Chains A and B, each alone.
Chain A
């Protein structure tokens, strides 16, 4: 708790009045000084007993979404339970790193915050600092309240780019597996007969060998995979460069994802969060955007979890720092990979199937290398 400028003037007034009144023996002024000193003490006590428990923060829209470069506004309101005794004004709003924020303080109890995210990712949390003042405006105290429910999803600009849709032509039938059943020539698996299944696919040899009267059908392989999996691999600490790196990772993943969706396939985004591999399937741009936002907050993972992640993915998104390890560099050299540059790191090796991405490269080569163009 500290004195406001009015509070300092108030105390000086008491001191000066008490000294002069003592010298001139003016008891009425001495009594006045004592009264206003007691009133100030009571007012200070009222403020001292106020805390963040008496204050609630209300956001007009706790979940905002925008594309990179768009400005969003958020209205922040304070609800004070002791509003008739104590006044509260919002003094500042602290946003996560990566967001340029400006605050309109023309209405101190209802603040308008303009947010301009500079990087594609999910931002969460907001810290609001506000000042409480006592009824006589003599004392003030500043309290911070953090609102962890606030989320700002900044989607990569790549989601807005025009992708020329083209279905890959399967020139080499059977050379690559589509990993799902379809209309190809190769055998995929055996399943039970359903009314919708074509009768020509009934596996008569197997049916004859069955002890019961179930009908089994032969499922054929698809030449084009139904789902392509993109994995984010992040095992290094990037500190102040992490925002920029993740921004490029999101942009690259968005480009890849959009390209995959345009050829009629689904996308699955894989990433490690905690010690768990998280998978998010996307069949349209909305689901792709949500999956990328979840991926953006995944954080660093351990090396122990990487083999599973890599083996389950078709395309890997990783950085130069990760490729400083021989084992990883060797593994990635054999896999289609989107490499994000790290300014202070050089990879041990870069495979022919990799593309170095810094925001504007064409990533369709990676997609085609998976579907077999």
Chain B
């Protein structure tokens, strides 16, 4: 059917774009990582997380798994923090605090490595399962923000990353500096990242606009595509012109978006 073809193509394009971002991250990590001193705890956490993802994927095809169960399954390590804290308080020694640090940082790293592709697959599926547009864009924004952050972070690094806990520590430090800098830093000129972002943009744009086409209606897909192209060209022209005047993203992108939203909302409620 016409509707499914456009939606399938859009979700596949967006998914491939996000996978390219993940690929940029994982390939850089493979170049920089040093797993010669990987501890048994890191190995256990990584392997069990892979196993948990596989089980959830397989079982999820047969029965519907509640989101809370998935959250608990993927963050079992977090439940070990409280007993370790108690032990740290009781014993006062550094062993349990070091153990807690290794578990947390390894879990961060393993989640970034293993859960990211899983989340991309689930996101692409949700685009086909009739989720609301607002849910999809919120999900997409958070996911692409996370993967872009990881890819950008490693693209700027040159030193080795020791084990999983090394990656986890790097992630935590970079999150702190990103928050103080006011956002995710630029991806730079990495071609894989740029291609991934472009595919993500095109996939989501076509899903949000052309995804409403129904088979049997008289509306031509070509005309809808022209409309979409016109919107994109106007946005790009505006951005190019506005950037000549100011580099403030708030004035170039955010404010015009909110202004247009208000105008559309206002005219659609005219009597």
Contact = CB atoms under 8 A, between A and B. Distances in A.
A30 B239 CA distance: 11
B257 A34 contact: yes
B133 A139 contact: no
Interface stretch (A77-85, A175-183, A198-206, A346-354): A77-85
A365 interface: no
Contacts of A87: 217-219
A49 to B, nearest CB: 13
Interface string B221-236: 0011001101110110
Nearest to A138: B212
Contacts of B144: 26, 28-29
A18 interface: yes
Interface stretch (A36-44, A58-66, A296-304, A314-322): A36-44
Contacts of A37: 256-257, 260-261, 264
A22 interface: yes
Interface string A136-147: 111100000000
B219 A31 contact: no
A289 B227 CA distance: 57
Contact of B183 (A25, A34, A43): A25
In this complex, the member of B140, B231, B257, B264 whose beta carbon has the largest number of chain A beta carbons within 10 angstroms is B257
B90 interface: no
Contacts of B68: none
Nearest to A107: B216
A30 B260 CA distance: 13
A372 interface: no
Interface size, A (range): 35 or more
B26 to A, nearest CB: 20
A15 to B, nearest CB: 6
Contacts of A16: 134, 137-138, 141
Interface residues on B, range: 35 or more
Contact of A46 (B136, B209, B227, B253): B227
B268 A44 contact: yes
A13 B134 contact: yes
A355 interface: no
Given A14-B261, A32-B204, A34-B256, A39 B209 contact: yes
A84 B261 contact: no
A10 interface: yes
A42 B227 contact: yes
Given A29-B144, A42-B231, A84-B219, A35 B134 contact: no
Nearest to A109: B218
Q: Is the interface of A mostly helix, strand, loop or mixed?
A: helix
Interface in B197-249: 197, 200-201, 204-205, 208-209, 212, 217-220, 223-224, 227-228, 230-232, 234-235, 238-239, 249
Contact of B209 (A2, A44, A109, A136): A136
A40 B264 contact: yes
A12 B223 contact: no
> Of A16, A83, A135, which is in contact with the most chain B CB atoms at under 10 Å from its CB?
A135
A362 interface: no
Nearest to A28: B197
B58 interface: no
Contact of B205 (A3, A27, A32, A86): A32
A136 B239 CA distance: 24
B265 A11 contact: yes
Nearest to B214: A137
Contacts of B238: 34, 38
B250 interface: yes
B134 A85 contact: no
Contacts of A29: 137, 140-141, 144-145
A149 interface: no
Interface in B74-114: none
A17 B231 contact: no
Interface string A92-130: 000000000000000001000000000000000000000
A359 B134 CA distance: 64
Contacts of B158: none
B231 A38 contact: yes
Contact of A31 (B138, B239, B270): B239
Contacts of B235: 31, 34-35, 38
B133 A9 contact: yes
B133 A13 contact: yes
Given A33-B137, A38-B235, 19 more contacts: A1-B267, A6-B133, A9-B133, A13-B137, A16-B134, A16-B137, A18-B257, A22-B249, A22-B250, A22-B254, A30-B253, A32-B201, A33-B257, A34-B238, A34-B256, A39-B227, A135-B219, A136-B227, A138-B212
The 6 closest A-B pairs by CB, nearest first: A25-B183, A39-B231, A83-B218, A13-B133, A84-B220, A12-B134
13 contacts: A2-B268, A3-B265, A10-B208, A11-B264, A11-B265, A21-B141, A25-B183, A33-B253, A35-B235, A37-B264, A39-B228, A87-B218, A135-B223
Interface of B: 132-134, 136-138, 140-142, 144-145, 148, 182-184, 197, 200-201, 204-205, 208-209, 212, 217-220, 223-224, 227-228, 230-232, 234-235, 238-239, 249-250, 253-254, 256-258, 260-261, 263-265, 267-270
Interface of A: 1-3, 6-7, 9-18, 20-44, 46, 48, 80, 83-87, 109, 135-139
